Chains A and B, each alone.
Chain A
Amino acid sequence: MSISECTMCLLSISEDQNRVLLNFSPLPSLSSPHRNRSAFPAAQGEHLHQKMSENGALPLRGKVLTVDTMNANVKKVDYAVRGPIVQRAVQIEKELKEGVKKPFEEVIKANIGDAHAMGQRPITFFRQVMALCTYPQLLDDNKFPEDAKNRARRILQSCGGNSIGAYTTSQGIDCVRHDVANYIQRRDGGIPSDPDNIYLTTGASDGIVTILKLLTAGEGRTRTGVMISIPQYPLYSASIAELGAVQINYYLNEEKCWSLDISELQRSLQAAREHCDPRVLCIINPGNPTGQVQSRQCIEDVIRFAVKENLFLMADEVYQDNVYAEGCEFHSFKKVLFEMGPEYSSKVELASFHSTSKCYMGECGFRGGYMEVINMDPEVKAQLTKLVSVRLCPPAPGQALMDLVVNSPQPGEPSYQTFIKERTDVLSALAEKAKLTEEILNTVPGISCNPVQGAMYSFPRITLPERAINEAKAKGQAPDMFYCMKLLEETGICLVPGSGFGQREGTYHFRMTILPPTDKLKIMLNKLKEFHQKFTQQYS
């Protein structure tokens, strides 16, 4: 049968199909190998049969896309922060809404660094400017302060058609990139920053994935290896899996407050050289999930190591404003690199990342962020610009928000006082909660928690009884997953098991955010304490 005849068949029956449809309930099963083809003329059936025997396949139109035929790299991706435990938490929330009785009244989601969801208020000035950018008619409203209006006008002037609804250049709005560069320069004590090296991103995640994408090449033993800390933020392992790169683990030292140990970097690199080409070293500072803040000395050592081993450095610095512990200070990789002198600063390829989602603003939903690339080969930079252009541009509201973070109210401006108060309130509450969390957790026998020097999480080590470990293994679950699931079912507290971040074999942890309001956090920590004691008893 010719193609056009075949098409004719279809068209002649399509009207009948309309009618058939009405009588076709329930609809025939998708997977039935003998699907009802009665609406087709016999000739059509023959045609199909012929084709199938050609292929030697069963006379079944299976799904095109199944787990067997899908992208194998995607299958390997794991992202525990929104994994099975979070899905169960959402389910439990629904059950509670439907009136199902539980030993608790609400689910507390301490699984993700989502400040606003935990009740943190947005910074007023930021939202004022964002509202002005969104609806410029408000520029005539005298309830909005002048400094907010000035910022909004400036941002809109560099948007196409003065609208936040226009695409921006793929690298990001010009004036925002300038403001970011100025901010970095101020932050780093005057070390110059070039706006051409700044790329706005859709949250920091987007930037990290993009840089890893550039770096992934080779086959077999020449395949790009990416060194990541263990424990790590699972965006890294997920992206590595998706890109088909090779994950190289270096372990942070839990006994030394999760610090980074150069000899461990060396060990991990040597081992990896056997089977891949290690080309990238990723650092998260302050640490996620581990909360450590790197010392200046440690950063210098890492940079020396990167030079010696010819590694591209990726510095994830999204928690740069979240430093709580006395004696700790945030040092940017960029600053340390330049203070080490031109021998280093003219060589090391570095990309560092920042975001609107963390720090004191916690504006996750806007998906704002930037990266600064240093010493990137100009040809590669052109490739980077091309690659980001396919996605057109990062969301303009997120860019505007990023601008406000790097260009916040200055002394003398009408919004300054309120801004400083709001910022200080958030950061000092976080510092208090960091301390509180460490203290309470360390009173529980079988839980030991390093100081939360920075970021937004504690990552305590938990001792699990042998019987619990065996029961988990029998269920095919990681023991800390088993623990966290039970915790969720019994208390409504949603945490992420340490196995989702990676940990030394035989050790178990969980990650919890320190974001709930202090009262709620206290209740949560006490529930956790009770649960842990009960759990230990039950399985001992």
Chain B
Amino acid sequence: FRSSAGRLDGKLREKTLTLDTLNPQVKAVEYAVRGPIVIKAGEIERYLEEGGTKPFSEVIKANIGDAHAMGQKPITFLRQVVALCTFPELMDSPSFPEDAKRRARRILQGCGGHSLGSYSASPGVECIRKDIAAYIEQRDEGVPSDWENIYLTTGASDGIMTILRLLVSGKDSSRTGVMIPIPQYPLYSAAISEMDAVQVNYYLDEDNCWALDINELHRSYQAAKQHCQPRVICIINPGNPTGQVQSKKCIEEVLHFAYEENLFVMSDEVYQDNVYAPDCQFHSFKKVLYEMGPEYFNSVELVSFHSTSKGYTGECGFRGGYMEVINMDPEVKAQLVKLLSVRLCPPLAGQAAMDVIVNPPQPEEHTFKQFHQEKSSVLGALAEKAKLTEKILNAVPGIKCNPVQGAMYAFPRIFIPPKAVEEAKALGMQPDMLYCLRLLEETGICVVPGSGFGQKDGTYHFRMTILPSIEKLKVLLGKVRDFHIGFLKEYSGLE
């Protein structure tokens, strides 16, 4: 009688849905990459558009790994195939290469009514799943991949959430604990909050280039066992926001740990093509698991994720992605398929884009040369920008930046003077949030405070993408340097 009581009191009809009656798990969700600082950046942008004045002429959004928004050009071949799939009348156009037409025909043959506008099977278009399995097998030098273990997703985020959803169960001390790196990509913490699972932090070692330390995994696991049931370990490799690339030895250690402690492994490998440091190489968890022998390969439950949004294509808007599930209980797999079917299917254009990524032009094809040239030019520029960012940031007193071995971000540590820390606390704000807000207001540069990703107590960071063009990136880094020096002066009383 809640509602009628309200009216009897003669009060106004209260809203059915208020902050007090909202799903409390939704309230607990935080997602800094699009959080308050980004909302502020949007406001400033609009203000500038409307003729307002600021000490800068444009907002540079270095908050999110959105390559095209930063001016990166799409890979021609990928867009040609997707355009052909979208408007098959173009098959008659001589301006489209045969290689692209062949791929488009193949994809369309796998679609109901040969249209990108039909629903696909919920796990994805069958021929695309087969292409993905073939790609994984090739990438992993022959380690077998079964196409029936492949599920297309709406970006990697969707896959990660779906798998977590399956895993979350129990109450109180038997509630599912999810081990995530700190710093982490906040999709993980947000999903954990939304599902009311228990977040179990393991800290990456900043002094050791953000490497994962197996002792820290043990510590974190043992501590968590006191109050929840840790059942999953999430790994992001190459790291987001930290940019480290895991060594094969480290991956072996993690897998052994997961085997010993009976943990489900989720391996976020969306940056697998983004490795820049000459002494680093991407190793997939799947391949390493296989090489550890059947004892491991037949028992460790592993899901790995990939996406169209990163790599050299940067096709975020298409929301394409896939996951491969290994050793999943067949009954659970049936439940997974059922769960996916409620959302019908991932977007077909995204599935088509994913297909091009796993099945790119081959050396004998006409489009190979241009494709290869475009791909190398994107990856070459990223490698250069990774180096440049590290170098310029490390030249600033009070900023220390680990090498950006991979992915798309620098996550430098910043020294914030005690007076600024106090001021932030008085404002009820994280010190690095204060720092980033000031940076935004004064320079137009939008980066995300480290507190949004998690960091060791008393340390402060920010995440910035390395995606702006080289000229723009240089300007941006110069502005960050000037701002930082000014900020230090202001709060250290050294003026």
Closest to B61 in A: A160
Using Cβ atoms and an 8 Å threshold, which residues of chain B touch A128?
87
B154 at interface (Cβ–Cβ under 8 A)?
yes
Interface size on B, residues (CB 8 A): 118
Closest to A281 in B: B16
A538 at interface (Cβ–Cβ under 8 A)?
no
Asked if B82 and A79 sit within 8 Å, CB to CB, the answer is no
A19-75 residues at the B interface, CB under 8 angstroms: 20-21, 24, 27-28, 30, 35-37, 39, 48, 51, 61-67, 69-72, 74-75
Partner of B29, one of A119, A122, A363, A387: A387
B268 at interface (Cβ–Cβ under 8 A)?
no
Asked if B319 and A202 sit within 8 Å, CB to CB, the answer is yes
Closest to B114 in A: A116
B437 at interface (Cβ–Cβ under 8 A)?
no
Asked if B6 and A214 sit within 8 Å, CB to CB, the answer is no
Asked if A66 and B26 sit within 8 Å, CB to CB, the answer is no
Asked if B86 and A130 sit within 8 Å, CB to CB, the answer is yes
Closest to A136 in B: B79
Asked if B331 and A66 sit within 8 Å, CB to CB, the answer is yes
A310 at interface (Cβ–Cβ under 8 A)?
yes
Asked if B317 and A159 sit within 8 Å, CB to CB, the answer is yes
Using Cβ atoms and an 8 Å threshold, which residues of chain A touch B18?
377, 379-380
Q: How far is the CA of A48 from the CA of B22 in the complex (A)?
A: 46
Using Cβ atoms and an 8 Å threshold, which residues of chain A touch B35?
386, 389
Asked if B117 and A364 sit within 8 Å, CB to CB, the answer is yes
Using Cβ atoms and an 8 Å threshold, which residues of chain B touch A130?
86-87
B119 at interface (Cβ–Cβ under 8 A)?
yes
Binds B, one of A165-173, A471-479, A480-488: A165-173
Partner of B122, one of A74, A82, A238, A386: A82
Contact with B along A334-351 (1 / 0, CB 8 A): 000000000000010100
Asked if A18 and B291 sit within 8 Å, CB to CB, the answer is yes
Tally inter-chain residue pairs, CB-CB below 8 A: 352
Q: How far is the CA of A14 from the CA of B2 in the complex (A)?
A: 64
Q: Smallest Cβ distance from B37 to chain A, in angstroms?
A: 12
A65-B293 CB under 8 A given contacts A114-B112, A205-B343, A365-B111 = no
Asked if B118 and A168 sit within 8 Å, CB to CB, the answer is no
**B13, B17, B290, B319, most chain A CB atoms within 10 A:** B17
A112 at interface (Cβ–Cβ under 8 A)?
yes
Binds B, one of A252-260, A390-398, A462-470: A390-398
What band does the interface of chain A fall in when counting residues whose beta carbon is under 8 Å from B?
35 or more
Binds A, one of B130-138, B248-256, B388-396, B482-490: B248-256
Partner of A36, one of B168, B295, B328: B295
Q: Smallest Cβ distance from A535 to chain B, in angstroms?
A: 28
Q: How far is the CA of A23 from the CA of B121 in the complex (A)?
A: 38
A342-368 residues at the B interface, CB under 8 angstroms: 347, 349, 361-367
Binds B, one of A4-12, A191-199, A416-424: A4-12
Q: Smallest Cβ distance from A424 to chain B, in angstroms?
A: 19
Q: How far is the CA of A396 from the CA of B318 in the complex (A)?
A: 6
Using Cβ atoms and an 8 Å threshold, which residues of chain A touch B70?
161
**B30, B70, B335, most chain A CB atoms within 10 A:** B335
A117-B79 CB under 8 A given contacts A70-B332, A168-B317, A379-B18 = no
Partner of A135, one of B3, B79, B165, B341: B79
Asked if B318 and A65 sit within 8 Å, CB to CB, the answer is no
Partner of B80, one of A18, A37, A64, A135: A135
Asked if A17 and B169 sit within 8 Å, CB to CB, the answer is no
Q: Smallest Cβ distance from A68 to chain B, in angstroms?
A: 9
Q: How far is the CA of A7 from the CA of B3 in the complex (A)?
A: 61
Residues of A within 8 A of B (CB): 3-4, 6-7, 10-11, 14, 17-18, 20-21, 24, 27-28, 30, 35-37, 39, 48, 51, 61-67, 69-72, 74-75, 77-79, 81-83, 90, 112, 114-120, 122, 127-128, 130-131, 134-135, 138, 141, 143, 159-161, 163-170, 202-203, 205-206, 209, 213-217, 234-235, 238-239, 242, 273, 277, 279-280, 307, 309-312, 347, 349, 361-367, 375-377, 379-380, 383, 386-387, 389-398
Beyond A66-B329, A167-B309, A349-B17, 6 additional pairs, beta carbon < 8 A = A3-B214, A74-B339, A79-B341, A165-B67, A205-B342, A397-B86
5 A-B pairs closest in CB distance? A160-B69, A117-B112, A396-B317, A17-B293, A310-B3
